[in-house]
Amino acid sequence: MKNLSLIIVFLIVLITISCNNNSNVIVVYTSVDQIFSEPILKGFEDETGILVKVVYDTEETKSTGVLNRLIAEKENPQCDLFWSGDPVRTIVLKNKGITLPYQSPVANYIDPVYKDPEYHWTGFSARARVLIYNKTLLEMATAPQSIFDLVKEEFRGKVAIANPLFGTTTFHISALFSVIGDESAKQFLSDLKNNNVVIATSNGDVKKRVMQGEVSCGLTDTDDAYEAMKEGGDVGIIFLDQQGIGSLIMPNTVCLIKDSPHTENAKKMMDYLLSKETEAKLAISCAQMPLHKGVDIPEDIPSLDNIIPMKIDYDKTSQKLEEIQSYLKEWAEN
């Protein structure tokens, strides 16, 4: 009887573990603004019946909070899927052995440049880094047309960028380092600092300062720029360096977390995020540009076909991001 009781207890434990591992839930970490990502995740929940538990980044620690959490949880993963606003943090996770490869059939027609060759991550719905300017203070003809124009005397104290230790600004600076080289990039940042650049807390803060006329212009992302226009700001948008190095294109990326509790649910979520339907929703809600061809989007959303992109190696840029962290910290704080 005693042995039978032990067997029954053992079977109950096995059944409990099995139920937990196959439970109808998924845990998602995301660095994408909650106002844009939450409706998409809720749509997946409504369509599939799978309960979605989400951990969001804060605006001030954008892309670093959940990244550091994923790294800390490597030996005991709590997250099933990471939805990032750019590729470089996802690549950091891949290089640390935290991601699980998955070739989604939904992404077959997405350009390979936006996919990891080993399928550890896949891109969708891109944003671009742009200049937003206050039309009351600047005219299109006199506004900067290149990122390197920002160090000119006429823009002294009139330009804002987000803290380069966080979010897409880190990605942008890392891309510059990888494209023009360390020496030229450091000289540019030094000149920018000497030109009294305003360091804002976030891209949203850059948008606010430009709208309020505190500065004439600033670097931000297309979603923030279009949000300013929706809010009635008298602002213009410029895709920089269309005669030079090009504008930085930043696809969202999604990846599975290795040894996570709900891998099969994560695959379903990944397929959902990579779909044309999701790209169409993100184009409407936050002016993101689809990577699939033939997605029905609003007329005012730019097409990637009409933008000269900065030619970067995402893997190299990811490595550069880690290399320059101490330099950027010193630059931002001094």
The pLDDT score that the predictor gives to residue 62 is: 53
Same domain for 244 and 274, yes or no, is no
278 in any annotated domain: yes
> Is there a single domain that holds both residue 74 and residue 179?
no
180, two tokens: 């023009």
Task: Say if 6 falls within a structural domain.
Answer: no
Q: 10-residue block means of pLDDT along the chain (334 residues)?
A: 43 39 86 93 98 84 77 97 93 96 96 95 97 96 97 98 92 95 97 97 95 97 91 94 96 97 98 98 94 91 92 90 93 90
Which CATH number do you get for residue 79? 3.40.190.10
CA–CA–CA angle 191, 193, 199 (5° rounding): 140
Q: Compute the CA torsion angle 67, 73, 77, 81 (nearest 10 deg).
A: 0
What is the number of other CB atoms lying within 10 angstroms of the CB of residue 155? 21
pTM: 0.83
Residues 151, 154, 156, CA angle at the centre, nearest 5°?
A: 60
139 and 233 together in one domain: yes
Helix axes 325-333, 314-323, angle to 10 degrees: 60
Whole-number Å distance between alpha carbons of 67 and 93: 8
* CA pair distance 317, 320, nearest whole angstrom: 5
Q: Is residue 106 part of a domain?
A: yes
pLDDT at 209: 98
Positive or negative, the CA dihedral 165, 171, 173, 177 is positive
Which 3-state string (H, E, C) describes the chain? CHHHHHHHHHHHHHHHHHHHHCCCEEEEEECCCHHHHHHHHHHHHHHHCCEEEEEECCCCCCCCHHHHHHHHCCCCCCCCEEEECCHHHHHHHHHCCCEECCCCHHHCCCCHHHECCCCCCEEEEEEEEEEEEECCCCCCCCCCCCHHHHHCHHHCCCEEEECCCCHHHHHHHHHHHHHHCHHHHHHHHHHHHHCCCEEECCHHHHHHHHHCCCCCEEEEEHHHHHHHHHCCCCEEEECCCCCCCCECEEEEEEEEECCCCCHHHHHHHHHHHCCHHHHHHHHHHHCCECCCCCCCCCCCCCCHHHCCECCCCHHHHHHHHHHCHHHHHHHHHC
Amino acid code (one letter) for 224: D
Pair 189, 254: CB distance under 8 Å: no
Q: Which two tokens stand for residue 26?
A: 């998924």
Q: 147 lies in a domain?
A: yes
Shared domain check, 241 and 287: no
Q: Are residues 204 and 328 in the same domain?
A: yes
Query: Would 243 be classed as within a structural domain?
Result: yes
Q: Are residues 174 and 255 in the same domain?
A: no
User: Any idea what the Cα angle at residue 243 is, between residues 288 and 224, rounded to 5°?
Assistant: 25
Helices 182-194 & 325-333, crossing angle to 10 degrees?
10
Q: Are 63 and 170 in contact (CB under 8 A)?
A: yes
Q: Domain count of the chain?
A: 2
Give the Å distances, CA to CA, from 314 to 90, 109, 110, 159, 165: 10, 19, 16, 27, 18
* Boundaries of domain holding 194: 127-248+323-333
Strand partners, 248: none
Same-domain pairing of 117 and 195: no
Q: Quick one: 57 and 191 in the same domain?
A: no
Shared-domain flag, residues 145 and 106: no
Closest CA to 111 of 99, 100, 122: 122
In this prediction, residue 300 carries a pLDDT of 86
**Does the residue 310 lie in any domain?**
no
